[in-house]
Amino acid sequence: MNKALLVGVGGFVGSVLRYWVSGWVQQVTASAGFPFGTLAVNLLGCLVIGFLSQLADVRGVFTPETRALVFVGVLGGFTTFSTFSNETFNLFRDNEVFSALTNLTLQIVLGLGAVWLGRTLAYWIWR
């Protein structure tokens, strides 16, 4: 029960952060036609989870409770892969094929790159 509460608290924090960051990026880019806010939170979430998972794997710095709070709760609430999927589907549905394929490519390729970068940064900083 304790871990479930930690996940819930973390999810609340991550969801609020996602709302703020995604909205801010979308406003700054002034784009109604492309989901830059979702792209930004997905990339940032991938970077952070890559960085922290490297520390967890190599340094063992997270207890099971902290992992539940941070990885499942905060980062699970912050990243928006389900939103990405729905937005990409909607772009295809609206015959915005180029935007849909661009969104799909950027989210996946840059997301994987951000995880790699996060892990690499953590490796070089704490080796």
Number of domains within the chain: 1
Tens digits of per-residue pLDDT, 4-43? 999 999 999 999 999 999 999 999 999 888 999 999 999 9
Q: What is the pTM of this model?
A: 0.80
Tens digits of per-residue pLDDT, 79-93? 978 889 989 999 999
| Cβ burial 7-45 (10 Å sphere, 16+ → b, else e) | beebbebbbebbeebbeebbeeeeeeebbbbbbbbbbbb
**Predicted confidence band at 3 (pLDDT cuts at 50, 70, 90)?**
very high
Contact 42, 106 (CB under 8 A): no
Name the residue range of residue 62's domain: 2-125
Q: How far apart are CA 101 and CA 125, in angstroms?
A: 35
The answer on pLDDT for 1 being more than 80 is no
**Predicted confidence band at 59 (pLDDT cuts at 50, 70, 90)?**
confident
